[in-house]
A and B are shown apart, each in its own frame.
Chain A
């Protein structure tokens, strides 16, 4: 294990100073990253002091520091989780072999693709969120979006390190491309569709961090099992930061729900006071959750089988020993798919169903957060509930693509789907309603009328704390 070097131009615990060639390459990439950050990172706020968490290492004695930082001065570093001694591959055909510390030649292209796909989401989300600061509902929220942004930037660093260190000239080219693609760009978009969707308002942002970032968590968790050990250790560390992003989303939507519930209990129509009605929140949930289901890829996938068999990507918490058959050769995964307006059973050999398994674990997690929002509604005596749509609903990828279901997952005719579309997804008018609520509130301790304050602040500070000091 290398020592943590925090003084270096690029803070790291990967022994960069002993690998001159790599260090030079990354130091050349660094100014281009900063150019990208200035162009595509949060618009404005460059000179302001933001109360941010910075990763400073791994293991004992805390892993992060909190302090006021100007965002362009943020110390983006490269950190890998501590290695376990004599680590073995714990699933797939290579079960029991030592993990790889270099890229096995036969998996080079596949691994590169996996890493690039993950890496591309990191800058993409920063681009999607770049204007949100101008309409933040409180200083606390303003700080949170910036925290998420700088950490997505660090995740990009984590992946670019792998590309530079292990993939030679190809890896360096990919690292350049990561700074060139742009979220939502017509000719040069980001790789995955949900990362090209606009995030025009804070409810979208909270839905994004609840549902889309959560896909990221499950992808990272599957890669954290990888036999390619530098990738596993890198994603393990990223997961520590990711937990906060997810709680920003979960608590964010939760606070919007709470505010709406308070108003409903008082008998006030949220629309009349610049808050967001429950039916619009529901539409956002339908929209963002179903778009995020697609990020898992096809439920029946030969690629997924290859990744698993080769030991590149495991199941959720595979290393905890939760599964009976670490080779996943014996069982089948059973699901249901529409045939006309009925459902029929579909059996997929387990290895080919790895995406479906990961998606199911993700779904249980989403269910947990939606249930939590519903407990809030109940607390305010609101009878209505927020519903999480079925995994079959509104899919563009996988076995349900091109089929039509209602949010409960019942097969319906296409015409029926089209007819009910506006009752399920936000209309232009709904977006306008939400937009009209988005007014910045920059005074410490104050908050916009469409969202409740958080139960607690950051790092034991109260909500009223001055999380952003304007210059």
Chain B
């Protein structure tokens, strides 16, 4: 993975996560990033469903391969700082979904082409 490639923040908008407010969370994060990431180094995207539905709201950071689960609106400031590289991974949100579920997400994003 070359450094020229963007860092991507994927927020799940699948059925379960959107029921828990992921679309609003995505929109709020988009607003926050306007000031936190003024040069647009990060790309914020929606993702149809990661398969970790029972642990939503889920978010994936790529190519860093960090998978965050059980996010709520109140976690957003910490998430925003983290994806901008200003603070470490927020505690209590990683390693929650099964390893193979996470791996499939990375496999899909790591295209090899």
Assess the A375–B109 pair: CB atoms within 8 A: no
Residues of B within 8 A of A28 (CB): none
- Shortest distance between the CB of A98 and any CB in chain B (Å): 19
Assess the A323–B113 pair: CB atoms within 8 A: yes
Assess the A368–B113 pair: CB atoms within 8 A: no
Residue of A nearest to B43 (CB): A320
The listed residue (B49, B53, B113) touching A350 by CB distance below 8 A is B113
List 14 other contacts, CB 8 Å, given A321-B6, A456-B16: A63-B23, A217-B48, A243-B15, A244-B15, A247-B49, A315-B113, A316-B108, A321-B43, A322-B8, A324-B113, A357-B111, A368-B104, A371-B101, A371-B104
Assess the A372–B51 pair: CB atoms within 8 A: yes
The answer to whether the Cβ of B34 comes within 8 Å of any Cβ in the partner chain is no
A114–B113 Cα distance when bound, in Å, is 25
Interface range on chain A (Cβ under 8 Å from partner): 35 or more
The listed residue (A243, A251, A321, A328) touching B113 by CB distance below 8 A is A328
Assess the B19–A460 pair: CB atoms within 8 A: yes
- Shortest distance between the CB of A110 and any CB in chain B (Å): 23
The answer to whether the Cβ of B35 comes within 8 Å of any Cβ in the partner chain is no
Residue of B nearest to A214 (CB): B48
- Shortest distance between the CB of B25 and any CB in chain A (Å): 13
Assess the A357–B113 pair: CB atoms within 8 A: yes
- Shortest distance between the CB of A154 and any CB in chain B (Å): 18
Assess the A321–B5 pair: CB atoms within 8 A: yes
A280–B6 Cα distance when bound, in Å, is 45
Residues of A within 8 A of B5 (CB): 321-322
Number of interface residues of B (CB under 8 A): 30
Give the A-B contact count at a CB cut-off of 8 A: 80
What is the predominant secondary structure among interface residues of chain A facing chain B?
helix
A331–B113 Cα distance when bound, in Å, is 7
The answer to whether the Cβ of B64 comes within 8 Å of any Cβ in the partner chain is no
- Shortest distance between the CB of B98 and any CB in chain A (Å): 7
Residue of B nearest to A242 (CB): B48
List residues 3-48 of chain B with CB under 8 A from any CB of chain A.
5-6, 8, 13-16, 18-19, 23-24, 27, 43, 45, 48
Assess the B14–A243 pair: CB atoms within 8 A: yes
- Shortest distance between the CB of B58 and any CB in chain A (Å): 13
Counting chain A CB atoms within 10 Å of each CB, which of B8, B18, B51 scores highest? B51
Residues of B within 8 A of A357 (CB): 111, 113
Assess the B6–A62 pair: CB atoms within 8 A: no
Counting chain A CB atoms within 10 Å of each CB, which of B14, B15, B24 scores highest? B15
The listed residue (A60, A365, A371) touching B108 by CB distance below 8 A is A365
Given contacts A244-B15, A369-B51, contact A364 B107 (CB under 8 A): yes
Assess the B111–A322 pair: CB atoms within 8 A: yes
Counting chain B CB atoms within 10 Å of each CB, which of A217, A315, A368, A369 scores highest? A368
The answer to whether the Cβ of A384 comes within 8 Å of any Cβ in the partner chain is no
- Between-chain CB contacts (< 8 Å), 8 pairs: A248-B15, A317-B109, A320-B8, A321-B5, A322-B5, A371-B51, A371-B100, A456-B19
Assess the A375–B104 pair: CB atoms within 8 A: no
Assess the B111–A367 pair: CB atoms within 8 A: no
A418–B43 Cα distance when bound, in Å, is 50
A246–B23 Cα distance when bound, in Å, is 17
A321–B113 Cα distance when bound, in Å, is 11
A324–B110 Cα distance when bound, in Å, is 10
Residues of A within 8 A of B75 (CB): none
The answer to whether the Cβ of A361 comes within 8 Å of any Cβ in the partner chain is yes
A328–B48 Cα distance when bound, in Å, is 25
Residues of B within 8 A of A368 (CB): 51, 101, 104
